[in-house]
């Protein structure tokens, strides 16, 4: 495996001998670790050996002898071999070694930490005690500064994948990755992992994001980009509300030049389509290509993907003069856009009123105004208005924390929030935005009435 010399016949024979002789339970920690690592590295999965590893139960005194490297390598191998993945029981060895990592975390290096977190994320195993021990070790200065670009990107990806809201650690790793001595070693996959992790956790550090993006200008970096990396970068920037013109143009050119759309799966198509809508893209060839790929793919049962495509359809209709090829491609989809709109409508009707929204509505009524809550705007693509002031054709959007990402000390609207507001305006509605952080700063009913009256007066005065 170290020499990368695959020999299926030999590996099958060795697997048979392992099981026949019972070496898995008698060979010791290094033997188990090396064996699992070798088969994972060479991507060989003999069924009998995989079954034996999945049910392997070692005595406690042997588990205690696993070093941090052996523990990390074994967990990494099990994740690569898809033993004990999401939805499956973890198996006795994965469960035991996960707990054992707490004992060896204090002597683990960055590579072992990153391998373990990657494995846990890949296997869908979120263990708070283990993760706390690993991130505590990571914060030690000598370990932190020893991290390579790969570790600096895999750890944030793993934490974000597991839904661990350790924003301080993820942001610290991202800022380390863009320092002068590290940034030249950051590859395209690391850029993708870091941007995706930042977006997933709602962290918008514009300076860090742009420095990561600029790595793609390096002609030695871009050729290795994959479909997944392209779409992850586009989705992350769109979600964070970062529209970098050069990046959007570059990635669009790569997709078109290399014909990558034809190999996009449904998730990649939907995420790319939604990102292009957020960016306000007028790349007619690209958008038409995405819609042609929509037609070629069969499974569009995912509600979120249908909703993402619906927002692209709205975008195309709003810019039909600039996007004639896209309009033609959309017409060729038959009733599919209508089905996406119906899905979007249904999802919108499932929304509920927040306490913040009820407070805003109460204040509007105190001003003597009539407003309707949770109104389905059938003439505006099926968007739902938090509050509709019908007399002025005005929508009041009460935006809670989920509508924002944090950029240092500032709250910035997400791409989804920006897209909704922009499309509502293009569809003929005035939009008043009530950010949660402004509303929470108001001390009493009188200040709330004054705040809302000023917002409404500023909007109505222009009508």
Tens digits of pLDDT across the chain (463 residues): 998 988 999 999 999 999 888 888 888 999 999 999 999 999 999 999 988 988 888 888 899 999 999 999 999 999 999 887 776 777 899 999 999 999 999 999 999 999 999 999 999 999 999 999 999 999 999 999 999 999 999 999 999 999 999 999 999 999 999 999 999 999 999 999 999 999 999 999 999 999 999 999 998 998 889 999 999 999 999 999 999 999 999 999 999 988 999 999 999 999 999 999 999 999 999 999 999 999 999 899 999 999 999 999 999 999 999 999 999 999 999 999 999 999 998 887 766 678 899 999 999 999 999 999 999 998 999 999 999 999 999 999 999 999 999 998 899 999 999 999 999 999 999 999 999 999 999 999 999 999 999 999 988 775 5
Could you tell me the two tokens for 10? 């030999």
| Spatial distance between the Cα atoms of 312 and 287, rounded to a whole number of angstroms | 9
**pTM for this prediction:** 0.93
pLDDT tens digit string along 115-152?
999 999 999 999 999 999 999 999 999 999 999 999 99
| Spatial distance between the Cα atoms of 463 and 459, rounded to a whole number of angstroms | 7
Could you tell me the two tokens for 134? 């690993």
Q: Please, are residues 155 and 138 in contact by the beta-carbon 8 Å criterion?
A: yes
| Spatial distance between the Cα atoms of 349 and 332, rounded to a whole number of angstroms | 28
Could you tell me the two tokens for 455? 């917002």
pLDDT tens digit string along 85-110?
776 777 899 999 999 999 999 999 99
Q: Please, are residues 209 and 198 in contact by the beta-carbon 8 Å criterion?
A: yes
| Spatial distance between the Cα atoms of 143 and 317, rounded to a whole number of angstroms | 53
Question: Going from the N-terminus, what domains does the chain have, and what CATH number goes with each?
Answer: 1-146 (no CATH), 243-350 (no CATH), 351-459 (3.40.960.10)
Q: Which pLDDT does position 351 carry in this prediction? A: 66
| Spatial distance between the Cα atoms of 79 and 60, rounded to a whole number of angstroms | 22
| Spatial distance between the Cα atoms of 396 and 406, rounded to a whole number of angstroms | 22
Could you tell me the two tokens for 162? 């597991």
Give backbone dihedrals phi and psi of 70, rounded to 5 degrees, phi first.
Answer: -65, -40
Give backbone dihedrals phi and psi of 405, rounded to 5 degrees, phi first.
Answer: -120, 160
Q: Please, are residues 364 and 374 in contact by the beta-carbon 8 Å criterion?
A: no
| Spatial distance between the Cα atoms of 358 and 387, rounded to a whole number of angstroms | 10
Supply the DSSP symbol for 185.
G
CB-based contacts of 272, cutoff 8 Å, min separation 6: 230, 231, 234, 235, 255, 264, 290
Closest to 430 (Cα-Cα) out of 401, 387, 399, 373: 387
| Spatial distance between the Cα atoms of 395 and 431, rounded to a whole number of angstroms | 5
Strands 404-407 and 410-413, by their bridges, are antiparallel
């Amino acid at each position: 495996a170290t020499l990368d010399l695959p020999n299926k016949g030999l590996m099958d024979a060795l697997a048979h001998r392992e099981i026949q002789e019972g070496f898995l339970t008698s060979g010791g920690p290094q033997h188990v670790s090396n064996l699992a690592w070798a088969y994972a590295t060479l991507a060989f999965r003999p069924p009998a050996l995989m079954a034996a590893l999945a049910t392997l139960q070692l005595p406690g005194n042997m588990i205690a002898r696993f070093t941090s490297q052996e523990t990390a390598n074994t967990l990494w191998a099990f994740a690569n071999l898809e033993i004990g993945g999401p939805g499956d029981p973890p198996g006795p060895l994965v469960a035991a070694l996960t707990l054992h990592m707490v004992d060896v975390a204090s002597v683990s290096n960055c590579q072992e930490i990153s391998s373990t977190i990657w494995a846990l994320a890949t296997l869908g195993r979120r263990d708070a005690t283990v993760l706390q021990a690993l991130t505590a070790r990571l914060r030690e200065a000598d370990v932190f500064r020893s991290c390579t670009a790969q570790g600096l990107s895999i750890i944030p990806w793993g934490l974000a994948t597991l839904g661990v809201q350790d924003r301080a650690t993820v942001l610290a790793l991202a800022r380390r990755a863009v320092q002068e001595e590290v940034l030249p070693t950051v590859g395209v996959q690391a850029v993708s992992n870091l941007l995706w992790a930042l977006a997933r956790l709602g962290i918008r550090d514009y300076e860090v994001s742009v420095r990561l993006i600029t790595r793609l200008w390096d002609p030695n970096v871009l050729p290795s980009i994959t479909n997944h990396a392209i779409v992850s970068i586009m989705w992350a920037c769109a979600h964070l509300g970062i529209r970098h013109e050069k990046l959007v143009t570059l990635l669009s050119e790569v997709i078109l030049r290399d014909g990558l759309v034809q190999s996009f799966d449904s998730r990649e198509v939907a995420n790319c389509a939604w990102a292009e809508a957020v960016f306000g893209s007028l790349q007619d060839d690209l958008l038409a290509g995405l819609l042609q790929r929509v037609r070629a793919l069969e499974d569009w049962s995912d509600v979120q993907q249908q909703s993402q495509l619906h927002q692209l359809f709205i975008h195309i209709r709003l810019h039909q003069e600039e996007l004639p090829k896209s309009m033609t491609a959309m017409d060729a989809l038959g009733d599919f856009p209508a089905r996406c709109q119906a899905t979007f409508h249904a999802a919108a009707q499932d929304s509920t009123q927040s306490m913040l929204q009820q407070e805003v509505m109460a204040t509007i009524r105190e001003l003597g105004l009539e407003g309707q809550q949770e109104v389905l705007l059938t003439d505006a693509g099926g968007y739902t208005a938090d509050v509709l002031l019908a007399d002025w054709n005005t929508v009041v959007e009460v935006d809670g924390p989920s509508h924002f990402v944090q950029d240092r000390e500032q709250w910035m609207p997400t791409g989804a929030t920006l897209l909704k507001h922009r499309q509502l305006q293009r569809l003929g509605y005035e939009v008043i935005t009530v950010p949660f952080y402004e509303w929470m700063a108001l001390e009493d009913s009188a200040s709330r009435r004054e705040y809302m009256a000023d917002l409404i007066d500023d909007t109505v005065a222009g009508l």
